[in-house]
Structure 1
Amino acid sequence: MRRMPGTPRPTFTRSLLAPSLWPAWIGVGIMKLIAMLPFGVLMGMGRMLGAIIERFPSPRRKVAATNIALCFPELDSKAQAALVDAHLRDIGMMLIEFALGWMGSERAIEKIPVMFEGLEHLEAAHAQGRGVLLVGGHFSHLELCARLVSQRIRIAGMYRRMDNPAFEWTVLRARLGYARAMFDKDDIRGTVKYLRSGGTLWYAPDQDMRSKDNAFVPFFGVKAATITATHHFARMSNAVVIPFFHRRLPGSQGYVLRLGAPLEGLPSADAEADTERVNRCIEEMVREAPEQYLWVHKRFKTRPEGYPPIY
């Protein structure tokens, strides 16, 4: 039998029953129970949890406030503080969406309202026999929307292994339940081979990975260490690069998933210019739903030589 690309489905071993992992398994069980609730109830729970998180003291509030002040200098202090509060409330939604994305039944996922836009761009690329690199950002509903888009598109994804073995086993099995394949972030060869074969890969290059392949390019006007992998994947695989944006609608209205027009001319001969272009594309996505972006991540932790630390 031909082996599927990417990371194989994990097997359950006795080591996963170690007492030190019992708290993690309890957490997995709680997520499973949460995911069994109706979608409207889950959205209400997310809003209540977000209201608690907004009021709970956390170092991540300062991180979010710093990022938002840097990225939205046009806002006055009151508007910046309001965006920080809105984002922290959104974290509550994110936690619920993690549970639903990983643990929700197929029936539950099918009931979630979702609107797809721009699928014709993907179909045109596949008609040419080319792979597709869906480039997006780290929004709070990333995991759930990856599952939602898999209802219409056979996708693969890249991921970073979790430190906790119980969560790693659970989440990888969940992702492989709906994704065509999952590639470790260091599996460059396998990823390129998959794209060359005409596969579709979801990829988010908008976090500070502290990689040797970083370039310092602007993100909201601030020099940000940004991995240049989008350029290299496209160059080595001849894949079409298509922006992929998703946002949550108010209340229980569901989600909008949009595929934009391909980024023509990418890759160019200039990896840094291509990386800056991808950052601009993600900026446009963020401005559509700024409170839903992951501002609690230390996006500007790695600084150019001679620049003072931000956090």
Structure 2
Amino acid sequence: MTQLPQFSRALLHPRYWFTWLGITLLYLLVLLPYPVLYYIGCGLGRLSMRFLKRRVTVARRNLELCFPDMPLAEREAMVVRNFESLGMGLIETGMAWFWPDWRVSRWFQVSGLEHIAKAATDQKGVLLIGMHFLTLELGARIFGIHNPGIGVYRPNDNALLDWLQTWGRMRSNKSMLDRKDLKGMIRALKNGDIIWYAPDHDYGPRSSVFVPFFAVEQAASTKGSYLLIRSGNPAVIPFVPRRLPSGKGYEMVILPEERDIPLENEQATAARMNKIVEHGVLMAPEQYMWLHRRFKTRPDGQPSLY
């Protein structure tokens, strides 16, 4: 069972003072009007390209691998927009953790809530398929305002940030589960809960099978989807929180339930889940986390793609 972090006096130790300073500055920053935050966030993202050169290289490589037919100029423009989205992702984390519900809701359009309601009517839990968009924190917050659920997360190595991200995410959600707590996730699904779940990262060779993802024929993809869907029998519902252009706010699109997920083996399930993720990514490709080394795990004997 996942033990959630609690605030303690140990978090006031001087080793955390620099982190507290950053948190305070982020809190004060997000008091500004959203159009100003949009301008600042995009500017920070472009500026970060000068200092995060390795991540720029990773983003370029991921786009090259996934979209080999995309013209070079278009891919380069996508990289710039992606880092603008990275800057906004930092701002949006502060918005998600510190804004009141009314202010978050003011900047969001939400569609597809009927798909969640239908699952509740059918007395089924929901495996809410998220993707690692840079709008992740804010998307989870607005979804929770409408339908509180349970988030799946990786505990942070910094104890203060671990507590803060849990506190922030639980402002509009019910609880959190460690991503390794499969039994807890299955139990929650059987109880009719909503589990926020992202199957689109590389979780290493022991936890993965190799199936296509965009143009990469053998991408390490999690085995967890097979276990959760087979054991929990949930409604599998994807959602996409995407940022609208020119500081106009956000749109959260909850897509219809994905039916007939193949469960004959882990590979078949993972391949179908990757197709679901691809569809979601293409709804806002410049906002996806391309700077992550998505393809770092390779089949035995194959060279690194980076």
TM norm structure 2? 0.95
Aligned partner of 1:110 among 86, 105, 113: 105
| Mapped partners of 2:146, 2:120: distance in 1 | 14
State the aligned residue count. 305
Is 1:78 aligned to residue 73 of structure 2? yes
* Pair 100,119 (structure 1): closer, same or farther in 2 beyond 3 Å: same
Partner of 1:155: 149
Give RMSD over aligned pairs.
1.6
Per the alignment, residue 303 of structure 2 pairs with: 308
Equivalent position of 2:207 in the other structure: 213
Q: Which amino acid aligns with 1:307?
A: Q
The Cα of 1:184 is off from its aligned counterpart by: 0.8
Q: Which amino acid aligns with 1:58?
A: K
Q: Which stretches in structure 1 are left out of the alignment for 5+ residues?
A: none
Deviations 1:86-110 (A, max 9, x none): 2112211111111111222233223
Per-residue CA deviations over 1:163-189 (Å, capped at 9, x if unaligned) read 111111111111122111110112111
Q: For residue 179 of structure 2, what is the amino acid of its counterpart? A: K
Match status 1:27 vs 2:19: no
Q: 5+ unaligned residues in a row in structure 2: which ranges?
A: none
- Counterparts of 1:294 and 1:267, CA distance in 2: 27
The AA in structure 1 aligned to 2:165 is V
- The AA in structure 2 aligned to 1:291 is E
User: Which stretch shows the higher mean deviation, 54-63 or 81-90?
Assistant: 54-63
Q: Distance in 2 between matches of 1:251 and 1:82?
A: 16
Q: Provide TM-score, normalisation by structure 1.
A: 0.93
Partner of 2:46: 51
Could you tell me which residue of structure 1 aligns to residue 125 of structure 2? 131
Flag the 1:264–1:57 CA change in 2: closer, same or farther, 3 A: closer
- Structure 1 segments, 4+ long, off by >6 Å, are none
Amino acid at match of 2:135: H
Deviation (angstroms), 1:213: 2.6
- Provide the C-alpha distance between the structure 2 equivalents of 1:85 and 1:109, rounded to a whole number of angstroms: 26
Structure 2 residue aligned with 1:12: 7
For 1:147 and 1:124, the matched residues in 2 are separated by: 21
Give the letter aligned to residue 217 of structure 1: V
CA contact (8 A) 1:31 1:103 kept: no
Identity of aligned residues (%): 37
Alignment of 1:170-209 (within 5 A): 170-209=164-203
- Range moving further from structure 2, 273-282 or 247-256: 247-256
